[in-house]
């Protein structure tokens, strides 16, 4: 299961539009690491740019370039009509490579399964920290390329 963290970053609607636009420009199918949607920007890793705890090979799969999903950037609107950013790390492929595959996809739905391995290797706290560190680095890159400067 994934983990979520608030980033203590608050953005305007205009800034959200900017990160969505840049997320589209840096799309996974354009050899980028992002997948912008109306309510989030997904973050993917590549063979060249991945968390240090990501030892498994990254395959091409259904995308135009080899990518594995790592996290999503979401926002929650506060009462001042500003977006508060959250990152949720969901390292599906890393979990799967360690025998922690908790999901099976059918044609129309997803349902949980018990573990496929008798000896799964859980993701350590240090590895979770590395996944968050890498993901937050990508958030800051997206903000920078979008021309968004954060106040100190």
Confidence of residue 117 (pLDDT cuts 50, 70, 90): very low
Q: What is the pLDDT of residue 100?
A: 66
Q: Work out the average pLDDT over 143-149.
A: 95
pLDDT per position as a tens digit, 10-66: 999 999 999 999 999 999 999 999 999 888 999 999 999 999 999 778 988 888 999
Q: Please check whether residue 51 is in contact with residue 131, taking contact to mean a CB–CB distance below 8 angstroms.
A: yes
pLDDT per position as a tens digit, 57-112: 898 888 899 999 999 999 999 999 999 999 999 998 888 877 766 554 444 444 44
3-state secondary structure of 95: helix
| Cβ neighbours of residue 52 closer than 8 Å, sequence gap 6 or more | 130, 134
Q: What is the pLDDT of residue 147?
A: 96
Taking the domains of the chain in order of start, what are their residue ranges?
3-93+122-145
Residue 115 in this model has a pLDDT that exceeds 80: no
Q: Please check whether residue 98 is in contact with residue 120, taking contact to mean a CB–CB distance below 8 angstroms.
A: yes
Tell me the whole-structure pTM to 2 decimals: 0.85
Residue 140 in this model has a pLDDT that exceeds 70: yes
CATH 3.40.50 given to domain 3-93+122-145: no
Residue 63's DSSP bridge partners are none
Output b/e per residue, 50-69; b: 16+ Cβ within 10 A: bbebbeeebeeeebebbbbb
């Amino acid at each position: 299961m994934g983990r979520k963290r608030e980033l203590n970053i608050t953005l305007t609607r205009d800034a959200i539009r900017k990160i969505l636009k840049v997320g589209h420009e840096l799309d996974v199918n354009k050899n980028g690491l992002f997948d912008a949607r109306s309510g989030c920007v997904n973050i993917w890793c590549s063979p060249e740019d991945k968390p240090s705890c990501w030892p498994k090979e990254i395959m091409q799969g259904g995308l135009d370039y080899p990518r594995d999903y790592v996290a999503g950037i979401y926002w929650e609107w506060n009462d001042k009509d500003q977006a508060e950013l959250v990152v949720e790390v969901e390292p599906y492929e890393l979990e799967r490579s360690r025998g922690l595959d908790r999901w099976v996809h059918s044609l129309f739905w997803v349902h949980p399964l018990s573990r496929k391995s008798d000896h799964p290797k859980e993701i350590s706290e240090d590895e979770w920290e590395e996944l968050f560190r890498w993901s937050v680095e990508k958030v800051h890159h997206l903000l920078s390329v979008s021309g968004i400067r954060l106040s100190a």
